[in-house]
Structure 1
Amino acid sequence: MTNTPQLHRAGSALLERARDLRPLIEREADTAETQGRLTAPVVDALHESGISGMWAPAPLGGAELSPTELLAVIEELSYADASTGWVAMITTFENGAAGAYLGDEAVERIFKGPSIPLFAGQGTRPGTAVPVDGGFRLTGRWSFGSGMLHAQYTHNLAIVEGTGEPRMFVTPVENVTMLGNWDVMGLRATGSIDYAIEDVFVPESQTHPFAQNEPLRGGAIYRLGVLDEALLCHSGWALGVGRRLLDEMVRHAGARAGRPGQLAGSDAFHADFARTEAKFRAAAALVHQTWHDTELTLGSGGRLDVRQETMVRLALNHITSTVAEVSRFVYTSGGTTALRDGLIQRLFRDVHAGMAHITSGPAVLAACGRELAGLAPGESWVVLGLEA
């Protein structure tokens, strides 16, 4: 017998359910965009299909998908609608982390309902946690709390006063003051508003170290830790949105075939489309290859080494920047159709909102290059930077 967490694989059932939900998600996307949050039918369908439990540990009733299974489901949802994919990946990644890392008392309270709850919050710009008997007093203000309007619990980064330790703190959404300022260019339907928490008691069991990567329940996927889990989520999102952009361009050009002066008859467009398709497929292949390699390591009982940590960061950075290029090509080629309110315009806005996330920033790319070039001997990844 071994105590090493085993990698759980759930199969393709959730991916098939995600595909079945595409017509509903697409029908509801315009309404969600207008109201600034996913519609009730979509949220209900994500729960009823089991997708809301795709990250949650199997012992708690979740699907606990493997990395490559998660990539596929997140890609499918994001293809249907960028905001739906974003909300699903964030709220479920965080309920997975909570289920794997929180103490037994907290898990018994939080996961006792008939459905697995959704979590939202922020893992950057930390608040402050003051140690008190039995837990902490949490105070802070966080920006861009992804999926906040859809969540039952929040998952917040704070620094423990006196020790400087970064920890994650889980609170019911009722403890949160919603700041109501979701006035963004893209990903409008995610409801990712700023929020504040003021001097709220959080029991010890509802917290865990930010760097925790050994699960208290569930299998080897939770050895990735919250940062790498987030990188996987954002990679799947970029795959889905990038593919949808290119497929929309195919539909746009095909609908105008045979008309004088249209894209379908332009050799320059044909060549540019071929180059753009090749760039996207190459970036997508890097993502799939990287996470396949990661899954093999986790499945064999291992942990990611420094080079693998570099590659999961590089793969996300590369697919994100590539999808930004794809979006600009599609938007420019779309002419006045893209200029008007519609799917191409929305995808363009959503991509540029998503690429602003800190996990895809230029500092991460520079650190990846330094490690790959052999210029970081003895250094390891600490969040998004290399340290000795």
Structure 2
Amino acid sequence: MTQDLLGTASALHVSDEFEPLMDRLEALVPLIKANGAANEDARRLGDDVVAALHESGVFRMGIPVSLGGYECSPRQVIAVIEKLAYADASTGWSAMALQMESGTTAAYLSDEATEQLYADGGYELMAGQGTRPDNGRAHKVKGGYLLSGSWNFASGVPHAGYIHTAALVEGTGEAMIFTLPKAQTTVVDNWNVMGLRATGSHDYIIEDAFVPDAFVYPVGTKEPLHGGALYSVGLANMAGMNHAGWALGVGRRMLEEMAALARRKSGAPGAGVDTAQFHADFAEAEAKLRAARAFVMDVWADNEAALARGELLSTEQETLTRLALNHATWSAHAVGMTVYTWAGTAALRTGDLQRYFRDLHAGTQHVTSGPVVLQQCGKALAGLAKNPAWQFFSLVERGERA
């Protein structure tokens, strides 16, 4: 099959800002760790943490260079989100969502919109739900759309000034992403959940809000108006790289928490951590997490090579991207279960280990790592789908096999 070629997008950009950014984030790890419990109690990130993240430059990571961002490459993005999720799962998730939606908005909207949203090298943060267009409807009017609907899971919305949301256009059924000021929406303070509480992933309602044409783009677009080849992967694959980094960071933190607990318990009478079974289980958990990370990075190295050649990702590459995310998520889950088993009652008490266990289980429920996506990956890889293609997180068959 002939590889599809990119249109006007330029080469894949690998950011020189990556190493300095990682150094700045490493310096923030103590602050982020120290605020984990308080953030959870508040059901949002603390002002000090948010200010430090802004100052670090992490929210510029996904914004095109031409608009004042860093435009980090996929493996750079994965490493950054991994570091933040290691420091605190909710901080990692919030930063992941905010920077991804702010970056893709910059890439896919026209100059008319970006000149307002990213004026003078600044940026606006976006939050919202981009995977449920059937939750909203947009009525075409002169110069734009009247948008209405109700959506869930606006991760990081307490810190955003704009909403990024998917809806269906009346008459055509086309799924579009709409960007509008948060002031035009009603945020419903209902994020009362088991895990990832500090992400503030509240619901929101929009009633007949006018959104200009310049602030709208198709959900499935892979044609950036700003930036390079990174943005030709589309929203679904952007989510794949970001969520994979989050899972790997959470898994690593849980293993390190368990190792620290084991060292404290070792030598006590009857300590389980001194048994050969714990040693074997810990080794298996370490291997599982490292294997998951290697798979993710191998898939994205191959993807980056295709983008650098000026190619769009093939169906197989998109399939492996979704599979690598699923594998990373559920490998981190397996690590978490091993840690919970051997931590004993320490896992029940208030503290970092308990919070990470709950945050991990909240993260596994995201649609990107769900069982249906895994099933579709298997169908495609086994050659049982007829001329398959991915439409967001759904595998569609276009007729007889090629």
Q: TM-score range by the shorter chain?
A: over 0.9
d(CA) in 2 for partners of 1:315, 1:35: 33
d(CA) in 1 for partners of 2:193, 2:309: 43
User: Residue in 1 aligned with 2:4?
Assistant: none
Match of 1:6 among 8, 11, 34: 11
User: Residue in 2 aligned with 1:203?
Assistant: 212
How big is the alpha-carbon RMSD for the aligned residues of Structure 1 and Structure 2? Answer: 1.2
1:124, CA displacement in angstroms?
2.5
Alignment check: 8 A CA contact 1:67 1:295 kept:
yes
1:4, CA displacement in angstroms?
4.1
Does the alignment pair 1:354 with 2:363? yes
Match of 1:314 among 319, 323, 328: 323
Alignment check: 8 A CA contact 1:176 1:196 kept:
yes
Does the alignment pair 1:268 with 2:273? no
User: Residue in 2 aligned with 1:30?
Assistant: 37
User: Residue in 2 aligned with 1:223?
Assistant: 232
Task: State the SS of the aligned residue for 2:180.
Answer: strand
Alignment check: 8 A CA contact 1:129 1:139 kept:
yes
1:150, CA displacement in angstroms?
1.2
Can you give the 5+ residue segments of structure 1 that lack an aligned partner in the other structure? Answer: none
Letter in 2 for 1:106: A
Task: State the SS of the aligned residue for 2:130.
Answer: strand
Does the alignment pair 1:143 with 2:147? no
Cα-to-partner distance string for 1:273-293 (whole Å, 9 max, x where unaligned): 111111111111111111111
Letter in 1 for 2:298: Q
d(CA) in 1 for partners of 2:72, 2:52: 19
Match of 1:40 among 24, 27, 47: 47
Alignment check: 8 A CA contact 1:25 1:84 kept:
yes
User: Residue in 2 aligned with 1:244?
Assistant: 253
Task: State the SS of the aligned residue for 1:171.
Answer: strand
Alignment check: 8 A CA contact 1:150 1:191 kept:
no
d(CA) in 2 for partners of 1:119, 1:147: 8
Match of 2:181 among 162, 172, 182: 172
Alignment check: 8 A CA contact 2:67 2:121 kept:
no
1:188, CA displacement in angstroms?
0.5
Does the alignment pair 1:117 with 2:151? no
d(CA) in 2 for partners of 1:13, 1:162: 49
Letter in 1 for 2:184: N
1:385, CA displacement in angstroms?
1.9
Letter in 1 for 2:149: G
Alignment check: 8 A CA contact 2:9 2:223 kept:
no
Letter in 2 for 1:282: A
Task: State the SS of the aligned residue for 2:206.
Answer: strand
User: Residue in 2 aligned with 1:21?
Assistant: 28
1:28, CA displacement in angstroms?
1.3
Letter in 1 for 2:168: I
1:377, CA displacement in angstroms?
3.3
1:296, CA displacement in angstroms?
1.1
User: Residue in 2 aligned with 1:100?
Assistant: 107
d(CA) in 1 for partners of 2:47, 2:272: 39
Counterpart mapping for 1:364-375 below 5 A: 364-375=373-384
Letter in 2 for 1:167: M
Alignment check: 8 A CA contact 2:191 2:201 kept:
yes
1:3, CA displacement in angstroms?
4.2
Letter in 2 for 1:301: G
d(CA) in 1 for partners of 2:297, 2:218: 29
Cα-to-partner distance string for 1:183-221 (whole Å, 9 max, x where unaligned): 000000001101111100000000101111111011110
State TM-score, norm by structure 1: 0.98
1:272, CA displacement in angstroms?
1.1
Letter in 2 for 1:38: L
Letter in 2 for 1:34: D
Alignment check: 8 A CA contact 1:33 1:189 kept:
yes
d(CA) in 1 for partners of 2:302, 2:25: 25
Letter in 1 for 2:30: P
Task: State the SS of the aligned residue for 1:208.
Answer: strand
Letter in 1 for 2:11: Q
1:81, CA displacement in angstroms?
0.3
Change beyond 3 A, Cα 1:117–1:35: same
Does the alignment pair 1:385 with 2:390? no
Cα-to-partner distance string for 1:322-349 (whole Å, 9 max, x where unaligned): 1111111111211111111111111110
d(CA) in 1 for partners of 2:336, 2:159: 28
User: Residue in 1 aligned with 2:3?
Assistant: none
Task: State the SS of the aligned residue for 2:177.
Answer: strand
Cα-to-partner distance string for 1:337-375 (whole Å, 9 max, x where unaligned): 111111111111001101100011111101100111111
Alignment check: 8 A CA contact 1:47 1:115 kept:
no
Alignment check: 8 A CA contact 2:68 2:121 kept:
no
1:149, CA displacement in angstroms?
1.1
Identical positions, percent: 50
User: Residue in 2 aligned with 1:304?
Assistant: 313
1:114, CA displacement in angstroms?
5.9
d(CA) in 2 for partners of 1:330, 1:57: 40
Alignment check: 8 A CA contact 2:9 2:227 kept:
no
